[in-house]
Amino acid sequence: MSKLIYILNGPNLNLLGKRQPEIYGHDTLADIERDCARVGEEFGLDVRLLQSNHEGQIIDWIHEAREQAGGIVINPGAFTHTSIAILDALNTFEGPVFEVHISQVHKREAFRHHSYVSHRSDGVMVGFGVEGYALAMRRMGSLLGK
Ligand code: CA2
């Protein structure tokens, strides 16, 4: 079992910490990567954090994870609510998949209440801010770590 965890991020999440801090906070993807790497170290897990604004690229990374990774933490951004293709790709991955949403999507617009990805996710962190990523990593550590 690979000790590498893919942390995948969808569209617009490259703007974290730079726009709309009232919804998404002040931390950047680099801060999230650092926090997740710290948790990973506790459990002997490595992390690879990736972000793309393109659905096909995220699908390609999920396929890559099939060969390279023991688990996936994913915030698919708005593709959460639209992408059967990302769900299909995740269904080909055998390890644990945890879904993260920084905001509490169930307090927001109705179109954010349904997640295609949740049909596959083994756990979902919603509304814990960027801390949701590290919490998902901690659970990954319990399942896959030393
Ligand atoms: O709460 C989340 O993490 C979301 O996945 C974020 C998506 C949104 O479409 C989902 O409904 C919930 C949007 C990501 C946009 O990220 C930004 C970050 C900073 C500034 C602007 C956008």
The secondary structure element, H or E, covering residue 90 is helix 84-90
Residue 101: active-site member: yes
Domain that holds residue 123: 4-144
Contact 59, 86 (CB under 8 A): yes
Mean pLDDT of all residues in 41-59: 98
pLDDT for the residue 81: 98
**Residue nearest (by alpha carbon) to ligand 1 atom 18:** 16
The residue from 6, 101, 116, 133 that is catalytic is: 101
Q: What pLDDT does 90 receive?
A: 99
Checking if the pLDDT of 1 tops 90, the result is no
d(CA 113, CA 96): 22
> 30: CA distance to ligand 1 center in Å?
16
Number of H helices, E strands in the chain: 5, 5
> What are φ and ψ of residue 51, in 5° steps?
-140, 140
Q: How much is the average pLDDT of 142-146?
A: 92
* 54 is known as an active-site residue: no
pTM check: above 0.95: yes
Question: Strand, helix or coil at 130?
Answer: coil
Does the beta carbon of 78 sit less than 6 angstroms from any atom of ligand 1?
Answer: yes
Q: Could you give the number of structural domains in the chain?
A: 1
pLDDT band at 146 (very low <50, low <70, confident <90, very high): confident
Distance from the alpha carbon of residue 16 to the mean position of ligand 1, in angstroms: 8
Residues 62 and 90 sit within 8 Å (Cβ to Cβ): yes
What CATH number does the domain containing 54 carry? 3.40.50.9100
CA of 64 relative to ligand 1 center, distance in Å? 24
Section 36-52 average pLDDT: 98
Does any ligand 1 atom lie closer than 6 A to the CB of residue 24?
yes
